[in-house]
Structure 1
Amino acid sequence: MKRIKKFGVIQTAKVAGLIYAIVSAIFLVPFGLFSMMFSFADFPIAGMGLGGFFFIMMPIFYGLIGFITVAIGCLIYNLISDKIGGIEVEVEDSPAPYTYGQNIQETTE
């Protein structure tokens, strides 16, 4: 078993924040575009599609919130992992990946 001793707070938070933003964008941007299309058709002046704009901007806010919460979580993990031990994971070496143009006989030997 291997143990995660510390997380790189900023790097982990950046990756998680981007994942949060992308995953929320997959759902919210199409919904926002749909909402803008119909709110503009029903209320050409009053609506102006602002509800849809909100859904398009939400992935950015969601990513920022994800960054902040993961950074806080990493800091807390780093503080308590010294006292109670870190998360244990089991790792193994993976075989070398197949590369384009590699001779098939080379991989079977």
Structure 2
Amino acid sequence: MVTRHINRVGVFSLGKILAAVYGILGLIFGALITLMSLGMGSIMGSQGAFAGIMFGAGAIIALPIFYGIMGFIGGVIVALIFNAATGIIGGLEIDVE
């Protein structure tokens, strides 16, 4: 086992990775909200069904975009904080085989 240190994380690299991960999570949550809104809309009648379809379509489009943007911003902030902390404290120790 070899011990290595991570001294720096690419700020935009981590931002892009978290944007993709959170975008996928937003797509999953958007799909679940779409299913729930369609189910609830159908219970409420024809006007409710239309509202459910519109809300569901909005959720499946808006949530992945919103989650992706927030993931990117969060990733950039975390990378900046990590880089500052490792500059003061030292690198993150990991074991590699």
| TM-score, normalising length: structure 2 | 0.75
Most deviating of 34-43 and 2-11: 34-43
Cα displacement (A) at 1:48: 6.3
Give 5+ residue unaligned stretches, structure 2.
none
Aligned equivalents of 1:8, 1:46: Cα separation in 2: 45
Give 5+ residue unaligned stretches, structure 1.
93-109
User: Is residue 2:47 matched to residue 1:43?
Assistant: yes
Matches within 5 A, 1:56-71: 56=60, 57-71=62-76
Q: Between Structure 1 and Structure 2, which shows a larger proportion of helix residues?
A: 2
What's 1:99 paired with? none
Matches within 5 A, 1:1-109: 1-36=3-38, 39=41, 42-43=46-47, 47=51, 49-56=53-60, 57-92=62-97
Q: Between Structure 1 and Structure 2, which shows a larger proportion of strand residues?
A: 2
Aligned equivalents of 2:50, 2:30: Cα separation in 1: 22
Q: Deviations over 1:63-94 (max 9, x none)?
A: 110110111010111111111112211112xx
Alignment CA distance shift 1:50-1:20 (3 Å):
same
Q: Deviations over 1:15-58 (max 9, x none)?
A: 11101111331232243155247537541697263321332121
Most deviating of 41-50 and 61-70: 41-50
How many aligned residue pairs are there? Answer: 92
Most deviating of 57-66 and 43-52: 43-52
| TM-score, normalising length: structure 1 | 0.68
